[in-house]
Structure 1
Amino acid sequence: MKTIFKQLCFLSVLILLITSCTKKFDEINQDPNNPKTTDPGYLLVSAEKKAIDNIWNEWNNGRTGMHYAQYWSATTYSNESRYQIRENQNNTFWNILYAGSIKDLNEIIKINTEKSFDYSPNQIAIAEIMKVWAYHMLVDVYEDIPYKLSQGGLDWPNSPYDKAITIYTDLLKTLSDQAAKLDPSKGSFPAKTDIIYNGDVNKWKRFANSLRLRIAMRVSDVPAMQTLVSQAVNDAITSGVFTSNADNALFRYVEAPPNNNTLNEAYKSRIDFCMCKTIVDYMLDINDPRLPIYAAPAKDNGRYIGKAYGLNQQNGETIPNSAISLPGSAVMDAKAPGVYMDYAEVEFILAEAVERKIISGSAEDHYKKGIRASLEDRGVATADIDPYIAGVPYNGGQWKNVIGTQKWLAMYMQGLEGWFERLRLDFKKPNGQDLFVAPVDGSLDREVTVVPTRMTYPVDEQQLNKSNYDKAVQSIGGKDSKAAKHFWDLY
């Protein structure tokens, strides 16, 4: 009997242990380094950094946007400035936004939808606003892109493409809807996980509305979009846009890698970029006080000298770096911020909106505010600001050239945006003379003479998503060419 009793006791304890362990089996077998759920805050900072690093780096900014806007020339490898792109980098640009930032943002939305908290509506709205920014970059680089399927669950890389004009319409609607949903009385993201605005809901709202201005103005020449443009611009202003440089949407880099400015890191190992003759000569002509900030004087003679744009590699290599101006230390600093959008751009958009009769007011006043905002943000001495503004007077009869040139100067370092505005406004110098030049030694793309109007789709899309890629190519005119024009680029 004693033996049986002991066996029964042992069996009872064993059953208890097994039951107890089974209840915590899932916990015991979870890899702490790969949790099943992720904090939405860490997903946001991941999405923010992936996006700005992708837009700001030496490849997509330095070798594409900064060349196409003629801010920079190449010191050695000039093929990109003559429009021969590196396909692996084109793939990377596309992949990081789709499989990186947008995927992270969709996950934030999913987490907050499946289990809602007080802060969930604001987290969802902020994620949606960031998605609009990412999609807007994609659609302006490529034209038609995959869009609809990625709203619920990203079916990439097997997604069909949507028409750019349809995407634009939805981007404006999304920003309107999400700006209205933002509630400053409720929680948001923790400050430490939102590098742009530290979780400030009011600033996210102003960013959403300011982004509406950019997107609406980009399509302001399209007849079918006129009513929507007017409504979007006026509604955004009423809801509240940027009113000072304190509102700027920035990614604040820090001193040490891997979180320093990505161009700063690239510059440590090689000097591939110098100032372009186009921007240096123009800034010298108008005595622009930002030039010593944008550029460094040539070491040989202390003068500001830009390199001719689009020299072939052999001709370019004969000019030593000491004989030309390199980018200034301030813009290449480890802590120089990446810019999603700033207040100066908003004022230039408002000046244009007045000229287009979309809003009432003084285009000249907004133009001057835009210049002042840029100069103050760059650290120009207060005493130099008013004289400079007086020296670049407003001329409503030449508003595209006047606003265009100053907006272009203010956007220095925002290479892709400078390129887009060059395409959209086709601005010249305010006196009507040409500002931009074709590559001096000619284009390496047989279909492009002066400047590409879009980027060709990544090679991966041709291989992994071929049927949808083929349909997209037919939709944009039958050829995947850097000379195919955006639907908004009408002139």
Structure 2
Amino acid sequence: MKKIHIPFLFLLLSCLASCEDFESLQLDPNRTIQASPDLLLTNIETKAFNEISLSAALASRYLTNTDGVSLNQYYGWQRSGYENYDHLKQVVKMEEEAARTNRPAYAALAKFFRSYFVVELTQTFGDIPYAEALKGGEGVFSPVYDKQEDIYLNVLQELNEANTLLANSTETVTGDVIYKGDLKKWQKLVNSFTLRVLMNLSLKENHAGLRVKQRFQEIVNNPAQYPIFTSNSDNASLPFYDLEANRYPYFNSNDLQTAYYMEEGFVTLLQNLKDPRLPKMADVAPSKSSLPEGDLSAYGGVKGSETLDVNKTKVVSGDASKIDARYYNNPVNEPSVALGYAEVQFILAEAVLRGWIAGNADTFYKKGIEASMLTYGVPQEGITAYVQSPEVQLPASRELEYVLTQKYIAFFMNSGWQPFFEQRRTGMPSFDVSGAGVLNQKRIPKRWMYPESEFNLNRQHVEAAIARQYPEGDNINGTMWILKPE
């Protein structure tokens, strides 16, 4: 048989042509390789503003789980995760697309969401990757950990830039399921969130670089340049719909129906205050079913700190109230409030009491109560009677305690871990640790340990961050920089 010899150069060129053809076949000409900023915005909003967390409700002593040992309830948690960086990838992409398509309003929203996700991360762990984070495309796969102090300085700068961009934009924004493209409302959210961030920094009020009090005053004293929330209509709230993947997160949750009960201390607090929100939050205890719904003595709870056997005994006796049935029966229920007008009013009341701004703390305080009650549908006559009742008047020596207590009540089943962070910052209200079920030597943790994956992928930098912050190592009782008085 005659052999056929093919020149090597021909083979090489044929191979290259085949490879090129194969790669070109991987590109679908009918599909874009670029993302639209409006589509990215919708997804980012739903990830950021779905702030309804049973874990946070347990740790913040609103609810008690009676069906198993919950580490959130008994303060025995260990590590948390870096899921927010997955959301931040979308934020970075939206910012890139905003630049590519010359859409500065989306760039402003990207600055806000980057700040929103980053603040939650640093509140959880302490120092985190920031300046070098999400730069894998530039070859940075092991980012350094930025100091919490530097992170907050950058966050405040980004929020200020976002406010300026929004103030100067007349752009039409689509894909917005929160404010329907109303940039004025986004501007209010940016500045209201900045007030939250600044109040989170209350222990650093004397820090020269942060200028906490001065920044706070600049916003409050100049509403034309820095508008903030003025009513519940400004709330950053994610609505739910009776559609697949859009329903209330705990709709049809068997656990919520059978294993979760109101926390005893929270119920007692509302009863002592004669608070009409209690019937909106809880169901009547089975043993008190003969009493009308409006009778606050018809409700009961179990202690989050007690052991399972003690709590189950009380549940079996019928003395404990479940959370109101609408939380698991109604697919729409109430929206998830990520940041609300009520919180802003309580922030302003605290700022007055701290001497940061002028004003009447009592006025802000009562506006915050009214805003919260309106979200529960409490009639105006009931609100008026409550804010005039002796139980909620600000006593001269305990004004801050009362403000923070009402702020805590307003956080029920919304705002994610913010009530826990607030209690960690101020110590108010007191979270019960008296029961035999509490772990961690009956201490309330101050943070979460870094993800295990960081020790596999970025050991050098995470260990440097731990050594810099926590002399006793990576543990849940370490005191991060934000919690150390300046």
TM-score scaled to structure 2, two decimals? 0.85
Q: Superposition pairs for residues 274-293 of structure 1, below 5 Å?
A: 274-293=261-280
The separation in 2 between residues aligned to 1:33 and 1:439, in whole angstroms, is 63
The separation in 2 between residues aligned to 1:277 and 1:194, in whole angstroms, is 39
How has the CA–CA distance of structure 1 residues 139 and 439 changed in structure 2, closer, same or farther, with 3 Å as cutoff?
farther
The separation in 2 between residues aligned to 1:379 and 1:134, in whole angstroms, is 31
Root-mean-square deviation (CA, aligned residues, Å) is: 2.6
Question: Do structure 1's residue 304 and structure 2's residue 291 form an aligned pair?
Answer: no
How has the CA–CA distance of structure 1 residues 33 and 288 changed in structure 2, closer, same or farther, with 3 Å as cutoff?
farther
SS in 2 for 1:250: strand
Equivalent residue for 1:84? 76
Q: Give 2:285's aligned amino acid.
A: A
The separation in 2 between residues aligned to 1:232 and 1:385, in whole angstroms, is 33
Q: Give 2:171's aligned amino acid.
A: G
Equivalent residue for 2:101? 116
The 8 Å contact of residues 287 and 319 in structure 2, kept in 1 or not, is answered as yes
Instruction: Identify unmatched segments of 5+ residues in structure 1.
Output: 1-23, 429-434
Question: Do structure 1's residue 144 and structure 2's residue 127 form an aligned pair?
Answer: yes
Equivalent residue for 1:70? 61
The alpha-carbon deviation at position 346 of structure 1 amounts to 0.6
Question: Residue by residue, what CA displacement relative to the aligned partner does 1:346-369 show, whole Å, maximum 9, x if unpaired?
Answer: 111111111111111111111111
Equivalent residue for 1:234? 217
Question: Do structure 1's residue 48 and structure 2's residue 45 form an aligned pair?
Answer: yes
The 8 Å contact of residues 250 and 256 in structure 2, kept in 1 or not, is answered as no
The alpha-carbon deviation at position 150 of structure 1 amounts to 2.9
Determine which of 185, 200, 207 is the counterpart of 1:203.
185
The alpha-carbon deviation at position 440 of structure 1 amounts to 1.1
The separation in 1 between residues aligned to 2:215 and 2:325, in whole angstroms, is 39
The 8 Å contact of residues 209 and 236 in structure 1, kept in 2 or not, is answered as yes
Equivalent residue for 1:386? 384
Q: Superposition pairs for residues 254-273 of structure 1, below 5 Å?
A: 254-267=241-254, 271-273=258-260
The 8 Å contact of residues 309 and 439 in structure 1, kept in 2 or not, is answered as no
Q: Superposition pairs for residues 18-417 of structure 1, below 5 Å?
A: 30-31=27-28, 35-53=32-50, 55-56=51-52, 61-63=53-55, 65-80=56-71, 81-85=73-77, 90-91=80-81, 94-95=82-83, 97-99=84-86, 101-113=87-99, 115-117=100-102, 120-150=103-133, 158-183=142-167, 185-190=169-174, 193-225=175-207, 228-237=211-220, 238=222, 239-267=226-254, 271-302=258-289, 303-320=298-315, 322-332=318-328, 333-335=330-332, 336-391=334-389, 392-413=392-413, 414-417=415-418
The 8 Å contact of residues 44 and 108 in structure 1, kept in 2 or not, is answered as yes
Q: Superposition pairs for residues 480-491 of structure 1, below 5 Å?
A: 480-490=474-484
SS in 2 for 1:274: strand
How has the CA–CA distance of structure 1 residues 26 and 461 changed in structure 2, closer, same or farther, with 3 Å as cutoff?
closer
The separation in 2 between residues aligned to 1:71 and 1:253, in whole angstroms, is 22
Equivalent residue for 2:10? none
SS in 1 for 2:440: coil
The 8 Å contact of residues 141 and 455 in structure 1, kept in 2 or not, is answered as yes
SS in 1 for 2:195: helix
The separation in 2 between residues aligned to 1:358 and 1:331, in whole angstroms, is 38
The separation in 2 between residues aligned to 1:47 and 1:112, in whole angstroms, is 14
The separation in 2 between residues aligned to 1:385 and 1:328, in whole angstroms, is 20
Equivalent residue for 2:8? none
- 4+ residue stretches of structure 1 with deviation over 4 A? 24-29, 151-157, 267-270
TM-score scaled to structure 1, two decimals? 0.84
Q: Give 1:208's aligned amino acid.
A: V
Decide which moves more: 413-422 or 341-350: 413-422
Query: Percent identity over the alignment?
Result: 27
Equivalent residue for 1:418? 419
SS in 2 for 1:340: strand
SS in 1 for 2:64: strand
The 8 Å contact of residues 261 and 334 in structure 1, kept in 2 or not, is answered as yes
How has the CA–CA distance of structure 1 residues 267 and 485 changed in structure 2, closer, same or farther, with 3 Å as cutoff?
farther
The separation in 2 between residues aligned to 1:46 and 1:112, in whole angstroms, is 15
Provide the aligned length of Structure 1 versus Structure 2.
Answer: 443
The 8 Å contact of residues 157 and 461 in structure 1, kept in 2 or not, is answered as no
Instruction: Identify unmatched segments of 5+ residues in structure 2.
Output: 1-20, 290-297
How has the CA–CA distance of structure 1 residues 362 and 153 changed in structure 2, closer, same or farther, with 3 Å as cutoff?
farther
